Amino acid sequence: MTNDISKLEEKIGFVANDKKLLGQAMVHRSYLNEHRDFELEHNERLEFLGDAVLELVSTEYLYNNFSNPEGELTNFRSALVNGKMLATVAGEVGLEEHLMMSRGEEKDTGKARQYLLANSVEAVIGAIYLDQGYEPAKKFITEKILIHMDDILAEKLYEDPKSRFQEEAQEQIGVTPSYHVEKEWGPDHDKHFIIGAYIGNEKIAEGEGTSKQAAQRRAAEKGLIAKGWNKKEE
């Protein structure tokens, strides 16, 4: 973890007028629990603002560049701005080195870390917008996030994995996949499911989730990988 704002500015391609504002974008709430006298606030308000700016810029971009109907544009936008994509962007930019978080958060490498990284991208966008306005924020979003649109289209990341798995199974094998609960546990308020994705009698993959729908999606994602149907089209 480093608080070198100049290095952060170099990574994001933006020189801030208010260095503290950009620094605040890197402060997770958990850090303040361990450093109560720290001079900056946490980044949640910046994240809230950045989320709105990101949605506007991405919507404007899709409207101007694609003639698809509203439903498809919504799917495109979701693929551009979801947590997984934003966490990927945070990794590409190198934000993690600058994040200030608790020791517990530093040790977490799972979904919580991905969520934290995604939020940091939105906080940076919020800081840029507050510091210098819409155009610099749009420039950052265009250069760091919208460049992934070609990959999203090539890999059909905008599609629901269940729909994609069904489409591929029907096209490649002529069979519609089915899903079966392999295991479930936990009380009603905290259920967990393991669901198998089958083609005929063959189990292709398993997925785990806190709802049957989430577990099915995960099983479909793994099924696409297992069958090699997740590759880019040549």
Q: What is the CATH number of the domain that holds 222?
A: 3.30.160.20
pLDDT of residue 50: 98
Residue listed under structure tokens 């997740």: 230
φ/ψ of 121, rounded to 5, equals: -65, -45
pLDDT of residue 26: 96
State whether 80 and 141 are in the same domain: yes
CB 70, CB 52: distance < 8 Å: no
Supply the residues annotated as catalytic: 51, 122
State whether 128 and 172 are in the same domain: no
Rounded Cα distance, 115 and 45, in Å: 16
| Nearest CA among 173, 168, 154 for reference residue 220 | 168
Rounded Cα distance, 82 and 176, in Å: 28
Asked if the structure places residue 185 within a domain, the reply is: yes
Asked if the structure places residue 49 within a domain, the reply is: yes
Asked if the structure places residue 115 within a domain, the reply is: yes
Beta strands in 27-149 (DSSP E): none
pLDDT of residue 231: 62
Cβ neighbourhood burial of 228 (10 Å; 0-12, 13-18, 19+): exposed
State whether 194 and 84 are in the same domain: no
pLDDT of residue 229: 85
State whether 173 and 74 are in the same domain: no
Q: Which of 134, 154, 174 is the last residue of a domain?
A: 154
Rounded Cα distance, 195 and 207, in Å: 5
Q: Give the total number of structural domains in the chain.
A: 2
Rounded Cα distance, 131 and 133, in Å: 6
Rounded Cα distance, 172 and 163, in Å: 14
Domain that holds residue 217: 161-226
Beta strands in 54-130 (DSSP E): none
Could you tell me what percentage of the chain is helix, strand and coil, using 3-state DSSP and rounding each to the nearest 5? Answer: 60, 10, 25
The SS3 of residue 15 is: coil
State whether 30 and 130 are in the same domain: yes
Asked if the structure places residue 233 within a domain, the reply is: no
pLDDT of residue 10: 96
- Residue type for position 217: R
State whether 145 and 218 are in the same domain: no
Q: Which of 154, 184, 217 is the last residue of a domain?
A: 154
Residue listed under structure tokens 């020791």: 103
CB 162, CB 198: distance < 8 Å: no
State whether 197 and 150 are in the same domain: no
State whether 116 and 214 are in the same domain: no
CB 26, CB 119: distance < 8 Å: no
| Nearest CA among 87, 94, 90, 92 for reference residue 4 | 94
Q: What is the pLDDT tens value at each position of the chain, 234 positions in all?
A: 455 899 999 999 999 999 999 999 999 999 998 888 899 999 999 999 999 999 999 999 999 999 999 988 998 998 999 988 999 999 999 999 999 998 877 777 677 788 899 999 999 999 999 999 999 999 999 999 999 999 999 887 887 888 889 989 999 999 999 999 999 998 888 889 999 999 999 999 999 988 898 899 899 989 999 998 876 443
State whether 133 and 38 are in the same domain: yes
**Beta 202-209 vs 192-199: how paired, if at all?**
antiparallel
pLDDT of residue 234: 34
Looking up residue 39, the CATH number of its domain turns out to be: 1.10.1520.10
Rounded Cα distance, 120 and 30, in Å: 13
